[in-house]
Amino acid sequence: MLANVNDGASGGASTITQQVVKNELLATLPRDGRYKLLQMRYAVLLERELSKDQILERWFNTNFYGYNAYGIKAAAEVYFGKDVKDLTIEEGAFLVGLVRAPSAYDPINNRSLSLSRFVTALTRVRDEGFITLTDDQIVRRAAENMPTGVRSRPDEPVQRTHFTEMVKDYLLNQSTTLGATYQERYAKLFRGGLRIYTTLDRDVQASADEAVKLLPDNSVN
């Protein structure tokens, strides 16, 4: 149902599949003459391997929703401060309607346009038969459920060290945990909204680095 809220998805599953391919498999490729051919080819292969529900789940989880939120789970936290499983149907409709143009439909900086898009999304939900509301009720419901603020997820500055580079290299080149191909792994690592926990304790490491600086200089004069 929520997929149909998005205008770009109204053309059917194949359109959604192509968006998944763009987000996951072709994120690192230039938009040259072969890009569209690869997108169509990969979409056909993906539809052979995955069910429609699996493709839709990946679509939800790879879209960009604004404010550094990649994936609907991150978007639920940013805009509504809750887990995705706790979203109301109105909140879900807002997020899916946002996908088409997150900057244009930004509820903080473009509130009027965002509200208009939200009304369109809820109207589609009504037309699909999931809610029963009049046009006036839809407008009121949208206004009542519009996010009034965001919990921004800014890019955290990461100090590049030998350790972090080893972790990145492992995930991109030595493991298939994030995907079968390099393109899949790259997209998931840099656009998947992941939180990666390692054994590195930055405070302990910083203390160790300071201790090294205090060691006497043993170099030969």
The per-residue DSSP string of 122-167 comes to HHHHHHTTS----HHHHHHHHHHHS-S-----PPPP----HHHHHH
List phi, psi (to 5°) of 203. -65, -45
Q: List, as one string, the DSSP characters of 12-70.
A: -HHHHHHHHHHHHTSTTS---TTHHHHHHHHHHHHHHHS-HHHHHHHHHHH-B-STT-B
DSSP designation for 70:
B
* Residue pLDDT, tens place only, 7-46: 544 444 458 888 888 887 787 777 788 888 888 888 898 8
Over residues 167-196, the mean pLDDT reads 77
- Who has greater pLDDT, 162 or 92? 92
Residues 51 and 77 in one domain: no
Are 140 and 75 in the same domain?
yes
In a domain, 10, yes or no: yes
pLDDT above 70 for 160: no
pLDDT value at residue 170: 83
My answer on whether 180 and 101 are in the same domain is no
Residue with tokens 């060290």: 161
Of 46, 62, 78, at which residue does a domain stop?
62
Q: Is 63 left (phi over 0), alpha (psi -120 to 50) or beta?
A: beta
Last residue of a domain, one of 43, 62, 81: 62
| Neighbouring residues of 171: CB distance < 8 A, sequence distance ≥ 6 | 177, 178, 185, 189, 196
Residues 58 and 68 in one domain: no
Q: Are residues 138 and 168 in the same domain?
A: no
pLDDT digits (tens, 9 = 90+) for 66-76: 888 888 988 99
Q: Do residues 58 and 73 both lie within one domain?
A: no
Same domain, 2 and 68: no
Distance CA 76, CA 41 (A): 32
Tokens of 124: 């589609």
Whether 221 is in a domain gets the answer: no
Q: Which residues pair with 56 in a beta bridge?
A: none
Mean pLDDT of the residues in the chain: 81
What pLDDT was estimated at residue 117? 96
N-term to C-term CA, the chain = 75
| Residues with Cβ within 8 Å of residue 35, at least 6 apart in sequence | 26, 29
Q: Of 39, 62, 85, at which residue does a domain stop? A: 62
The verdict on residue 220 lying in a domain is no
Q: How many domains does the chain have?
A: 3
Q: What integer pLDDT is reported at residue 68 of this predicted model? A: 81
Tell me: do 145 and 177 sit in the same domain: no
SS3 call for 23: helix
Burial 49-76 (b: 16+ CB within 10 A, else e): eeeeeebbebbbbbbbbbbebbbbebbb
Average pLDDT over residues 200-206: 65
Sign of CA dihedral 129, 106, 64, 159: negative
**Per-residue pLDDT, 165:** 76
Q: Which domain holds residue 183?
A: 162-214
CA distance 178 to 219: 45
> Is the pTM for the entire model greater than 0.85?
no
Tens digit of pLDDT for each residue in 88-133? 999 999 999 998 889 999 999 999 999 999 999 999 999 989 999 9
Alpha-carbon gap, residue 6 to 17, rounded angstroms: 14
CATH code, domain with 92: 1.10.3810.10
